[in-house]
Each structure stands twice: as structure tokens, then as C-alpha cells.
Amino acid sequence: MTTKILLAEDDTDMRRFLVKALQTAGYEVISYDNGLSAYQRLREEPFELLLTDIVMPEMDGIELARRASSIPSISGITMSVSRSSNGSSRSRS
């Protein structure tokens, strides 16, 4: 049985990279560009792992992880902060 990963990442390039890398490693990956859509999918279908960015629109990764922690199928939650090409953290106003 293939491990199912739900990826929540709003940066398109990072999301594409992670999906490709994880699929190449043999994982089944479903991805979303915001936390709210990812959370809705988590409620509909079991996933073993949630991989989420922290800073995202609609629902940030911290809130997504908090809500996901009550979902029985999730055995792991990993959070990341993406960096821009110049090395600084992304910020939103």
C-alpha cells in the first residue's frame, strides 16, 4: 500500500517540486495551494502524512496542523517555511 501525503503549499514552484520529488520516491501525493482546501480534503479522505507550509492564504499551516491533529488517519505532520530565491523568508502583508 502506498503512503498517501497531502501537501499544502501556496508557492507554485515549490509545490510542483515537492510533488514530483515525493512521487518519484513512491508516494501518492495530493496537493493544494491553500490550507482551507487542504483541510476540506483531509476531512473527506484518509491521508497518512500532512506536509504543509506555514504561511498560506485562507488558512495558515499552523491552524491546518492544529485541525489535522484530531484526524485519526494522520500519523505525521510536517511544517515548512519556504524561502525566496534571495534566501529571505516570504512575508505577506
Query: Measured between alpha carbons, how far is 76 from 73 in angstroms, rounded to an integer?
Result: 9
Q: Taking the chain (93 residues) in consecutive chunks of 10 residues, what is each chunk's mean pLDDT?
A: 92 95 97 96 94 92 92 82 51 36
On the 0-12 / 13-18 / 19+ scale of CB atoms within 10 A, 68 is: buried
Q: What is the pLDDT of residue 83?
A: 58
Going along the chain from its start, the domains and CATH numbers come out as 4-80 (3.40.50.2300)
Q: What is the pLDDT of residue 38?
A: 97
Q: What is the pTM of this model?
A: 0.83
Q: What is the pLDDT of residue 40?
A: 96
